[in-house]
Amino acid sequence: MTIAITEDLALPKKRNRVLAKFLKNRSALFGAVIVLFFVTIALMAPLVAPFDPVKPSFMTIRKPPSAIFWFGTDELGRDVFSRMVWGARASLSAGVVSVAIAVLLGVPFGLVSGYFGGWIDAAISRSTDAMLAIPFLIFAIALAAFLGPSLTNAMIAIGLSAMPIFIRLTRGQVLSVKAEDYVEGARAIGLPDFWILLRYILPNVIPPILVQATLTIASAIIAEASLSFLGLGQQPPNPSWGSMLNTAKNFMEQAPWMSFFPGSAIFLIVLGFNLLGDGLRDALDPREN
Amino acid sequence: MLRYIAKRILIAIPTILIVSVLVFTLQQLLPGDPVLTLAGEERDPQVLAFLREKYRLDDPIPVQYFAWISQVLQGNLGISLRTDIPVLTLILGKLPVTIELAIFAMMVALVIGIPAGILSAVRKGTSVDYAANVVALSGLSIPNFWLGILLIMLVSVRWKLLPASGFVPPSEDLWLNIKTMIMPAFVLGTGLAASLMRHTRSAMLGVLRSDYIRTARAKGLLGRVVIMKHALRNALVPIITLSTLLFGELLAGAVLTEQIFTIPGFGKLIVDAVFNRDYAVVQGVVLCTAVGFILMNLLADVLYVLANPRLRHAR
């Protein structure tokens, strides 16, 4: 009973310490602001975008940035700013959904592999090694090629390609946590394995996964942009930052703004997630105290 | 040490086998009847029946796999549907171009990444360290295809300093070959340089805190000698292995870089194959990349053991 009370008191204290450390880190806060900015824009796309992002307007083809068209127009006369606002939805959802796929599949495999060991661990670990042997983007390109080009398939492809990172990370965490006294204790009083994994091991695995997930969202956004740039992600006329760059590369000389703004947006959001991930890692790392 | 290397090779074998299963499974992801996809526009029942028999598509999947892997083990990765050229010949033809690009990119990464990492560690907490970190994080966050576009716009279109795209074999014109490789190598190398910089910095910081460095300083050795002779040597051990592990990133980055600069290498081969629905080529490229990566991992392990005397003499 005493232990339970101490834990209850200690947890909020620890949470506060992590939060205080995070708030003190200026670059992490900067990252959080960038991410929040783009998330808000993506959520409020219908309100923020001044023009229809897909309807061509042949009177306004390749107009440079102006008071009406802040970021200029593209080869079909569509407002680049409006396309970028709607494209934020595609890019962010690709990042979040694909990482969710990777986490939801990878963490259970990692938990089982690390906790049970033996042949299950050997089979999962060798399969993870095999998946990690195929470079992330090449695996995603191959998967997207066989599944067919679309944003949904790109998300599945990126999610499956990122999954082994989470299997390996979770397995490593489980191996260190399962040797702890409280897990031994839980086992000694006969609690079922499923309950031990869920109640005693999973909570300790979450912080590093949270950090990795934030950093992987950055990689996933670049991967989605890369796939869309190659024509394997978002399909026209729907906008995504990568597909906008794919079109823009044909008009580098005539309309440089077509590539400048979507590229900057990818750079900023990826930078934001990287800063946020680094900040979370520092805040959650007890050695940084 | 030989036992260690033999053990690593034994571990690599099942990994390669699982990779082959994964690559084979890709084909099973094709929506609908794979014969219709493989045949493309062709709908002649005789052709479809021929393809069905050729790829043993009526056989159970494990039988199909064993038929495929036995061919692969004999060096037959299939025939390209578009060009009718064996996949292995296509890959071997494109590989030298990508290897040249990878070597140039790695040089860029080493030349920028390692000195920047050392400087950042030695000047920890100063504006130099802060600036190096900002540049490294930017290098990691910038999509290399966008960097490529920006460079083409500036260096080729505006300043007309370097060719925007294309590839000239070094045997044809060495100077033009180097000129066409400068921008792609820079684009591919910057991301790696950022990775190397961060790792060098952290390895150097670890080494600089150790007792023998303090002793070297206490002996009155020059700061430069301490850093270059005593600290860097030990910090370089994990960096050497990391450089081999970056091989995967190099190949993945080459896909986009070759696409932007129209370089006819390994990366462009897979993208063209994807669009031509030339699935045998896609499978071949993925398999070769993975096997190459596993071999590089093996090399990294061996190098690590060779570079670390404590591991070299361990049983």
Pick A218's closest partner by Cβ from B31, B141, B249. Answer: B141
The verdict on a CB contact (< 8 Å) between B270 and A141 is: yes
The verdict on a CB contact (< 8 Å) between A133 and B260 is: no
- Can you spell out the DSSP letters for A18-77? HHHHHHH-HHHHHHHHHHHHHHHHHHTHHHH--S-SS---TTSTTPPS-SSSTT-B-TTS
Task: Name the residue with higher pLDDT: B165 or B51.
Answer: B165
pLDDT score of A169: 93
pLDDT tier at B180, thresholds 50, 70, 90 = very high
Reported ipTM: the value is: 0.84
CA torsion through residues B160, B162, B164, B165, sign: positive
* Token pair for A192: 């079922």
Structural contact between residues A233 and A151, judged by C-beta atoms closer than 8 angstroms: yes
Phi, psi of A141 (to 5 degrees): -65, -45
Residues from chain A contacting residue B69 (CB–CB below 8 Å) = none
Interface test with B, best of A25, A35, A124, A134 (most B CBs within 10 A): A134
- Is A218 an interface residue toward B (CB < 8 Å)? yes
pLDDT score of A11: 57
CA torsion through residues B82, B88, B91, B96, sign: negative
Angle CA B162–B165–B166, to nearest 5: 115
Q: Which of A16-25, A195-204, B31-40 has the highest mean pLDDT?
A: A195-204
The verdict on a CB contact (< 8 Å) between A134 and B146 is: no
Q: For B138-152, B203-217, B226-240, which range has the lowest pLDDT when averaged over its residues?
A: B226-240
How much is the mean pLDDT over chain B?
85
Angle CA A247–A218–B189, to nearest 5: 70
- Within 252-271 of A, beta carbons closer than 8 Å to B belong to 252-253, 256, 259-260, 263, 266-267, 270-271
Mean pLDDT, residues A92-113: 96
- Residue A9 pLDDT greater than 60, yes or no: no
User: Considering only CA atoms, which of A102, A156, A147 is closest in space to residue A128?
Assistant: A102
What single-letter DSSP state applies at residue A251? G
Pick B282's closest partner by Cβ from A142, A230, A252. Answer: A142
What single-letter DSSP state applies at residue A235? P
pLDDT score of A264: 95
pLDDT score of B244: 72
Residues from chain B contacting residue A249 (CB–CB below 8 Å) = 149, 260
Q: Give per-residue pLDDT as tens, B85-140.
A: 999 999 999 999 999 999 999 999 999 999 999 899 888 888 988 888 888 988 88
pLDDT score of A80: 96
- Report the chain A residue with the minimal C-alpha distance to residue B142: A267
Q: Give per-residue pLDDT as tens, A144-187.
A: 888 888 999 999 999 999 999 999 999 999 998 888 888 889 88
What single-letter DSSP state applies at residue B75? T
Measured CA to CA, the distance from residue A161 to residue A154 in angstroms comes to 10
The verdict on a CB contact (< 8 Å) between A134 and B142 is: no
For residue A273, the distance in angstroms to the closest alpha carbon of chain B comes to 9
pLDDT tier at A70, thresholds 50, 70, 90 = very high
Measured CA to CA, the distance from residue A95 to residue A101 in angstroms comes to 10
Segment holding B129, helix H or strand E = helix B127-141
Task: Quickly tell me which residue has 């960097």 as its tokens.
Answer: B147
Mean pLDDT, residues B207-223: 83
* Token pair for A76: 């079909």
For residue A171, the distance in angstroms to the closest alpha carbon of chain B comes to 18
Pick A135's closest partner by Cβ from B27, B251, B271. Answer: B251
The verdict on a CB contact (< 8 Å) between A138 and B286 is: yes
Distance of CA B252 to the CA centre of its chain: 6
Measured CA to CA, the distance from residue B211 to residue B223 in angstroms comes to 15
Torsion of CA B103, B149, A160, A83, to 10 degrees: 170
- Residue A190 pLDDT greater than 70, yes or no: yes
Residues from chain A contacting residue B137 (CB–CB below 8 Å) = 271, 274-275, 278
Structural contact between residues B94 and B83, judged by C-beta atoms closer than 8 angstroms: no
The verdict on a CB contact (< 8 Å) between B259 and A230 is: yes
Measured CA to CA, the distance from residue B71 to residue B160 in angstroms comes to 49
Measured CA to CA, the distance from residue A190 to residue B137 in angstroms comes to 48
Structural contact between residues B226 and B204, judged by C-beta atoms closer than 8 angstroms: no
pLDDT score of B315: 47
The verdict on a CB contact (< 8 Å) between A226 and B145 is: yes
Instruction: Determine the straight-line distance between the first and last CA of chain B, rounded to whole angstroms.
Output: 7
Helices B174-208 and B247-260, packing angle to 10 deg: 140
Mean pLDDT, residues A193-214: 91
**What percentage of chain A has pLDDT greater than the value 70?**
93
Pick B15's closest partner by Cβ from A129, A135, A278. Answer: A129
Mean pLDDT, residues B290-306: 83
User: Considering only CA atoms, which of B142, B109, B76, B149 is closest in space to residue B246?
Assistant: B109
- DSSP H stretches of helix in chain A: 2-24, 26-43, 45-48, 80-116, 118-133, 136-147, 151-177, 181-188, 193-195, 202-229, 241-248, 257-284
- Residue B310 pLDDT greater than 70, yes or no: no
Task: Quickly tell me which residue has 């794919």 as its tokens.
Answer: A246
CA distances from B245 to A218, B156, B205, B291 (A): 21, 32, 21, 13
Residues from chain A contacting residue B143 (CB–CB below 8 Å) = 222, 225-226, 245, 263, 266-267, 270
- Report the chain B residue with the minimal C-alpha distance to residue A245: B146
- Residue A35 pLDDT greater than 70, yes or no: yes
User: Considering only CA atoms, which of A157, A171, A158 is closest in space to residue A126?
Assistant: A171
Pick A263's closest partner by Cβ from B149, B274, B293. Answer: B149
Instruction: Determine the straight-line distance between the first and last CA of chain A, rounded to whole angstroms.
Output: 30
pLDDT tier at A1, thresholds 50, 70, 90 = very low
Residues from chain B contacting residue A248 (CB–CB below 8 Å) = 149
